[in-house]
Amino acid sequence: MPSSEWEPPAGSWASSAARRRNMQAIRSRDTKPEWMIRRLVHAQGLRYRVAAKPLPGLRRTADMVFRSTQVAVFIDGCYWHGCPEHYVPPKTNSGYWSDKVLRNVTRDRDTDQRLTEAGWLVLRFWEHEPAEKCASEIAAAVLERRAPAPETCGDS
């Protein structure tokens, strides 16, 4: 059957074969915003894990993980994570995609809560935010958590 006559199965997430190929080609990691931020953070001398699980029992990965300081960084895509400034609901198969984005947002909040309860600092950035600003905030947070706690003055 020629691709122009392809019909998606009932309940399918793709409205056409071309749309299916397009959506499958979208990267889930190593996006341009991630690369830019990682490069800037690395240039500041900080080292991290890429696309790693912060918690062993949690099947979710952060874009950057600083294990020693328990900082997890997520660089969220505007479409997939429902950016309040840039998210535009799709015109085709809108029910499926809107539900998908809502599930992503709900999972993001759950991830934030679980990591915070485990003592992690969660930093989230939108893909449209300036890489320099994101890298600066990440470096400041990691360095702050790396610094020893100040000694208190006692009467001893």
Beta strands in 61-153 (DSSP E): 62-66, 71-76, 121-126
User: Which residue do the tokens 């015109």 mark?
Assistant: 91
Domain ranges for the chain: 28-146
Q: Is the pLDDT of residue 127 over 90?
A: yes
Is residue 76 within 8 Å of residue 57, measured between CB atoms? no
Q: What is the CATH number of domain 28-146?
A: 3.40.960.10
**Cβ proximity of 145 and 48 under 8 Å:** no
Whole-number CA gyration radius for the chain: 20
The predicted-structure confidence for 48-92, as pLDDT tens digits, reads as follows 999 999 999 999 999 999 999 999 999 999 999 999 999 988 888
DSSP characters over 3-26: GGG--PPTT-S-SSHHHHHHHHTS
Task: Tell me: pLDDT of 118 over 50.
Answer: yes
